[in-house]
Structure 1
Amino acid sequence: MRLSKWSVLMILFVSAALAAGMATGVAAEDKYPSKSITYLVTFDPGGQSDREARRQQPLLEKNLGQKVVVDYKVGGGGALGWSELVRSQPNGYLMAGINIPHIILQPLQQQTGYTTEQIVPVAIFQRTPLALAVLKTAPYKDIKEFLAAAKAKPGDISIGGSGTFSGHHVATLRLQKLAGTKFNYVPFTGAAPQVTAFLGGHVNAIFGNSDDLVKHADSIRVLAVADNNRFFGFKETPTLIESGIDMVESIDRGIGLPPKTPENVVARLEAAFLQIAKDPTIQEQMKKEGFVPLAMNHKESKAHIEKMTAIYKEIVKEFKK
């Protein structure tokens, strides 16, 4: 079929327009970021995720040259926010704080609206070892007395935590299995309300984040730390391992993007977050507050999540036996 001169011209025009559009798209991608970025916090204001986002916000704006807006999507132990993240456009203009093992455990246990593999980790920048704590007014002077009381009345002692199928939840499940007793786990929508309820006497104990326990050291008694080594904020407190409970639990925090986010966008944000994470002043601030500073890049963060996923799959299998 012979094409008219008009048809040929139209084909050439459309081809040129498409090529120009593609070139413009590539150019826009190369210029990332060109507008404000939303930093989604999936837990209550005042918690660790929120406080770290606020610390990073002005430094990110300086590095990226664009406004960074901290917003909230709270619920389901972080699942509501992470579900929104994986459904968003993969253009780098919505990123969310991520918590490990939450993003691993939740999809293993229930329908969450996202999978671990969908979240693209940019960097992991801090860790909080978990520790079992009671108020100073509590009758338990050490971990042995606490476990003895729990065994005497299984299910009577309540332990508060942040979220369901979270690090705090799995720590409680693991402790009761290893100790041969049962606790009443009480989930909260974040660490801030968890600690408030605990200090108000609404739960008997918490598996608390290390920074919260450092902040409230005058009001609480830390019975044992769920880490390989004693925590620098509570050097006199034994680890659970020292106490005969072979258990290590922590919360690692980082930043994640939607699936199929372009590599150059991941790399740009990775560089910005690592610049903050490696800053000696920021690291010193974190340590004083009870955090363990980390600076894992995209590749290291992805490998860490894959490693922890394999570990937690085995742990979950044990719970189901």
Structure 2
Amino acid sequence: MNIKLTLVAGTALALLTALPAPAQPVEEFPTKPMTYIIPFNAGGESDVSARYQQSVWKDVTEQDVVIQYQPGAGGAQAWSQLNQIEGDGYTIMGINLPHTVLQPMEGSVGYATDELTPVHYFHYTPNAIFVQKDSEFKTLEQLVAYAKENPGMVTFAGSGANSANNLGQAKFDKLAGITTTYVPFSGTGPSMTAILGGQTIAGFNYVTSGVNVGEDLRMLAVASDERLPAFPDVPTFKELGYDMAGGAYRGVAVPDSTPEELRQRISDIVQQINEHPDFKKKMEDGGFVLTDITYDKMDAFMEEMKAEYAAGAEALGIGK
């Protein structure tokens, strides 16, 4: 009898030992440092905004976040590998629009838009039109009037072909009833250099460039719903009669194996960071516009953006 009891007890102990450890309560996540992959080189808007997040990450989570860079193919190299990462919540990745919609439309890039899992879009950098500070064009209407009289002669430097800048230029042409020429460069820096050097008449760039370049350029209009704190004297396109707002959206994505409760938890963390006063000041001073596209709103937001970008892609001849 004693032998049988011993055997039963031993078997029960073995079964208990084999059971998985209790899952960590989601509200306690994270309990160790996280890794934040930026799919571009250091120094761009994606990196700058992630660094601002990093500066207050520990205040919100009580844990550090380590930023790593995985550049290549305009972000596609990293996004194509996102779902191969373990979905335990401890590795997140920066994600951008319109990149992740337009890239698959252009051709095979190793991922499809719907295969990615964004959990929060926390800001966008609005498009803006720039000219040299001593340009003859003092207002947007002067530039539009010249473009109407000289179709194709107004050249806009922008950050890459089929980018948010390019989409913005195409939409503005349609709204203003003009034809301009978009000149793509390999990034924001080279495109701003082109404007400063007189290689193009103007630039269709991100408003954050106005912070970096300072008084060497004049901003004629910004594609935000309201005037920006960093540029209170610059009118919005809407003020000037053109119904357009937008630019490049940036957010955080996770591997598709990440459980729903962790997706929501990470979205909550990013939202709390957006509300941190130090982070808000840095972003607003830098010309970024904070958004809170939370995980529960993501499906509806993505459907809206895919429809909008599909119309823009048609105007740019993408996917034909």
| TM-score (norm: length of structure 1) | 0.79
Q: Which residue of 2 aligns with 1:206?
A: 203
- Give how far 1:304 is off: 2.0
Q: 2:92 matched to which residue of 1?
A: 95
Q: Which shifted more, 49-58 or 101-110?
A: 101-110
Deviations 1:103-150 (A, max 9, x none): 223223332222222222222222322111112133333323434544
State the Cα deviation string for residues 63-109 of structure 1 (Å, max 9, x = none): 44544221112233332232232443323233111222322232233
Distance 1:268 1:133, change over 3 A: same
- Structure 2 residue 179 is matched with structure 1 residue 181: yes
Aligned match of 1:296 in 293, 296, 300?
Answer: 293
Once the two structures are TM-superposed, the CA of residue 260 in structure 1 deviates from its matched residue by 2.7
Alpha-carbon shift at residue 276 of structure 1 (Å)? 1.0
CA 58–220 in structure 1, closer or farther in 2 if over 3 Å, else same: closer
Question: 1:251 is matched with which residue: 248, 254, 258?
Answer: 248
1:45–1:192 CA contact under 8 A, matched in 2 = no
Cα offsets for 1:24-82 (capped at 9, x unmatched): 4x636967545543211123322221111112224324544544221112233332232
Pairing partner for 1:310 from 297, 307, 310: 307
Higher mean C-alpha displacement, 85-94 vs 42-51: 85-94
Structure 2 equivalent of residue 9 of structure 1: none
1:25-64 superposed matches below 5 A? 27=23, 33=30, 35-64=32-61
Shift of 1:183: 0.8
Please give the alpha-carbon distance, in whole angstroms, between the structure 2 residues aligned to 1:135 and 1:243. Answer: 20
Within the candidate set 266, 270, 283, 2:267 is matched to 270
Distance in 2 (alpha carbons) for counterparts of 1:308 and 1:225:
20
Which residue identity is paired with 1:109?
E
Query: Displacement of 1:186 after TM fit?
Result: 1.1
Query: Where do 5+ consecutive residues of structure 1 fail to align?
Result: 1-11
Asked if 1:137 corresponds to 2:161, the answer is: no
Residues in 1 aligned to 2:163 and 2:208: alpha-carbon distance in whole angstroms: 17
Residues 300 and 282 of structure 1, relative CA distance in 2, 3 Å threshold: same
CA distance in 1, matches of 2:220, 2:288: 19
**SS at 1:218's partner residue?**
helix
RMSD over equivalenced CA pairs, Å: 3.3
Matches within 5 A, 1:210-229: 210-229=207-226
- What SS does structure 2 have at the residue aligned with 1:27? coil
**Residue pair 1:230, 1:238 contacting (<8 A) in 2 also:** yes
1:285 to 276, 282, 287: 282
**Matched residue pairs, number?**
306
> What percent identity do the matched residue pairs reach?
33
Write the distance in 1 (CA, Å) between the matches of 2:215 and 2:293: 33
